[in-house]
Chain A
Amino acid sequence: MPWLKKLVGAIVILGGVGAVAGWVGSAPVRLDRETLAKLGPGDAARGKRIFFAGGCTSCHAKPGSQGDARLQLAGGLELKTPFGTFVPPNISQDAKDGIGAWSVEDLANAMLKGVSPSGRHFYPAFPYASYARMNPVDIGDLYAFLKTLPAVAGKAPANSLGFPFNIRRGIGLWKLLYLSDQPVVPFPAATPDPVMAGRYLVEGPGHCGECHTPRDLAGGTKKNVWLAGAVAAEGSGVVPNITSGEGGIGDWSEADIANYLETGFTPDFDSVGGAMVDVQRNMAELAPQDRAAIAAYLKAIPAHPNGYPARKRAN
């Protein structure tokens, strides 16, 4: 049966082409020379702002750290998600256990491309899908600030993930779908500066969308319901809708939002809770105009109703 042989041959060839395409397409891609040239000499004072806007300590400080201990970036927090347990690594200046031996180019490839110095994909629990929108010069400044922080010895435990999420190469395909340096919400040219500055902080370093936006089955954020709130990736709760849609914060003024980020109090004097407590403490470290910019952006984006199902009442 020559036709069967041909069919099998065709399938083998097609399968082979598919495998090769998948392998090539999923390969880690580093930054180009042009982008790396924009990293600049680095300014630690400016980098401090990026450090707190980026919320690095929320995941990378030892769990439960308070005050200055939050600058000891030893890692070790356990993020229990449906994909498995992610453990943020040691990113202190320890040369062996942390990232003390990294170059600024290494940090840029990690944050903007999700690629490690050894050329492996990082899991997007490290929110580089947001950081990819950052300006290279801010990475250079952040690098300079990280250099001022202490070295802490000790490796954090490894991730514990089930199949197929334990195959790192698969992340390359995920990146083809979701990794982009383009902004999420388009604005016309005449948009006021604070809104644009807020867009950068929220969509880029602040990575607000990572928790506040629902995800699709493959774990990418759904841009058509951006910041509409979501079922929490961890635990049993929800992450609130921060658009002006139903269930969101439409009745908060810009001053209310900025005040919440500074003090942790909502307009009706409930307080910040859950994972947002650490985020708010980071936001309190920013300059007032940065918090005002975030507020201006949140009031300017499209409104959506809650991105999570209504609560089932227990009785």
Chain B
Amino acid sequence: MRKLVIAISMLALAASAAFADPILDRQALMKERGKIVGGLSKVVKGEEPFDAAAVLTALQALHANAEKVDVDALFPAGSDTGGDTTASPKIWEDMAGFKATNAKYVADVKAAAAAAPADVDALKAQFGAIGSDCGTCHQTYRVKKG
């Protein structure tokens, strides 16, 4: 029986290692997020013309990206160290707070995509709220480690 339990847990471990490295996965999602935000920022700053359809596509992509963050799967216990993670230990000290902060971001992105901004001023307001969410989460839950 004991051997069976060990065998199953080893299998599970191997499977999780084969399918996903949560640190790499969450970093990839954050990189993708940054790219989309970067594209939108060019429109907000007036470096690129406002194209309602293109902006909506970008906001929908940002929403899809946000929904992919399953906190339990991407921030399992023990993933506070390893790789070059910059996740703060505070995530695991206050998991409820972290989830609430993430949920606010998801809600704001969802609202922005649903609102489908019709001009650059409408986008600016949505973009400001989203950018503020980025800072609020990184203020508490990320640590620069050099």
Contact = CB atoms under 8 A, between A and B. Distances in A.
Interface of A: 229, 232, 235-240, 247, 259, 263-265, 268-275, 277-278, 280-281, 306, 308-311, 313-315
Contact of A238 (B131, B136, B142, B145): B145
12 contacts: A236-B145, A237-B145, A238-B146, A239-B144, A264-B135, A265-B37, A269-B35, A273-B144, A275-B139, A277-B136, A306-B146, A313-B84
Main secondary structure of the interface of A (DSSP, over half): loop
A198 B81 CA distance: 38
B38 interface: yes
Contacts, number: 75
A232 B144 CA distance: 9
B20 interface: no
Interface string B31-46: 0001101100100010
Contact of B138 (A235, A239, A240, A273): A273
A280 B135 CA distance: 9
B49 interface: no
A265 B146 contact: no
Interface string B129-143: 001101110110011
Interface string B51-94: 00000000000000000000000000000011110000100000
A272 B41 contact: no
Given A313-B84, A315-B82, A269 B37 contact: yes
B134 A240 contact: no
Interface in B72-124: 81-84, 89
A281 B134 CA distance: 13
A315 B83 contact: yes
